[in-house]
Amino acid sequence: MTDSMADASRATKAAVDKAFTTYDIQACLYDVRRVRYLQAAIAQTVSPGDVAVDAGSGTGLLGLFAAKAGAERVYCLEFNADHISLIEENARRNGLSDRIIAVHADATSYELPEQVDVVISEVISAGYFYEPQLQITNNLRRHLKPGGAMIPLAMQNFVELICAQEDLYGLKLNFDTRFTELDGDRSLTDSQMYLGNRFEDWTDPVISGRVRLTATTSGRANAVKIAYRIDFAQGISGDKPTDFLLNPQIVFLEQPIDVRAGREFDICLDYVASNSPLEARITVAAAGA
């Protein structure tokens, strides 16, 4: 087994060991802007008679949207066993029990009993940290019929150097990462894409990003900001944070670096998708150094 394969195997196991809590599920359910993006993508993509899968189903919401759009069968895959009865009850109360098949399963390895027309899976965060989105879509794309569709369709991740606020509540908080931007955060460079992928294609969960950034202002860079854009379906995209989705990840550097306007910097990001940003190896060096 190669090192890359071993890392990917460990990543899949790490992803399997994680499960959303009821709190997380509720946060997704009532994030109206997030839901509207996905609802519009499903309505545009799913056709009457389709077979679909909703991976990381939670409450079954996206599977219910697919059924209402005309899907004949929807496999709602959910890792948390406690949520299976919730999916089934939501389907019953909406008159869709005959179309919804709730399955307690690990979507990173589950073998669907048939080929499907549409794969729906949104367990996404900036940089693919924490969430096994890539492991899920890498698995389920194998079950997609020729000409089938993925929702979301694609994603692009961007990185920039910033001077991040460290002091809060009278304390210095500059170790753990955060997905909340603070008033004191200040961008120091341009933003460049280091990873772009379409979910219908296999994407290595062992990520190695390399980009060159240009400083737009002088300052002391103590963190990177990783932001992202999602193409939910053709013509339906978003990059502005909602309550739960599209929030950037602020990752503090082990060693801050002084930047001067006009200088270029090479940044390397090495990590395994679904792991914590604290496990990432991020290095920054002046170009040509």
Catalytic residue positions, numbered: 122, 131
Q: What is the DSSP letter of 142?
A: G
209/194 Cα distance (integer angstroms): 5
State phi, psi for 226 to the nearest 5 degrees. -110, 115
Alpha-carbon gap, residue 48 to 56, rounded angstroms: 23
175 three-class SS: coil
Q: What is 31-93 written as a DSSP string?
A: -HHHHHHHHHHHHHH--TT-EEEEES-TTTHHHHHHHHTT-SEEEEEES-GGGHHHHHHHHHH
Cα–chain-centroid distance for residue 234? 18
The distance of Cα 179 from the centroid of its chain, to the nearest Å, equals 13
Residue 109 near residue 142 (C-beta atoms within 8 A):
no
Distances (CA, A) of 108 to 18, 43, 115, 133, 184: 12, 25, 16, 9, 39
- Whether 97 contacts 73, CB under 8 Å: no
CA distance 86 to 118: 23
107-116: b (≥16 Cβ within 10 Å) or e: bbebebeeeb
Q: Which residue has the tokens 């692009």?
A: 156
